[in-house]
Structure 1
Amino acid sequence: MKTLRHITLVVRDYDEALAFYVGKLGFDLVEDSAQPEQDKRWVTIRPPGAGPQATTILLARAATPEQSARVGDQTGGRVAFFLSTDDFDRDHAHFTAAGVTWVRPPVDQPYGRVAVFADLYGNLWDLIGPVPGGACVG
Structure 2
Amino acid sequence: MKQRIAHIALVVKDYDEAIAFYTQKLDFVLLEDTRLNEEKRWVLVAPPGAGESSLLLAKAANEEQRKSIGNQSGGRVFLFLFTDDFWRDYNKMVNRKIKFLRPPKEEEYGKVAVFEDLYGNKWDLLEPSQVNKGVLSK
- Name the residue aligned to 1:126: 124
- Name the residue aligned to 2:43: 43
**Deviation by residue 1:73-99 (Cα, 9 ceiling, x = unmatched):** 000100000000000000001111111
Provide the rounded CA distance (Å) in 2 between the counterparts of 1:33 and 1:45: 12
Contact 1:9 1:58 in 2 (8 A): yes
- Name the residue aligned to 1:115: 113
Structure 2 unaligned segments of length 5 or more: list them: none
TM-score (norm 2): 0.92
Contact 1:32 1:43 in 2 (8 A): yes
RMSD, aligned CA: 1.3
Number of residue pairs matched?
134
TM-score (norm 1): 0.92
Report the residue type matching 2:32 in the other structure: E
Contact 1:88 1:130 in 2 (8 A): no
Runs (4+) off by over 2 Å? 133-138
2:90 pairs with 1:92: yes
Structure 1 unaligned segments of length 5 or more: list them: none
How far 1:49 sits from its partner (Å)? 1.4
% identical equivalent positions: 51
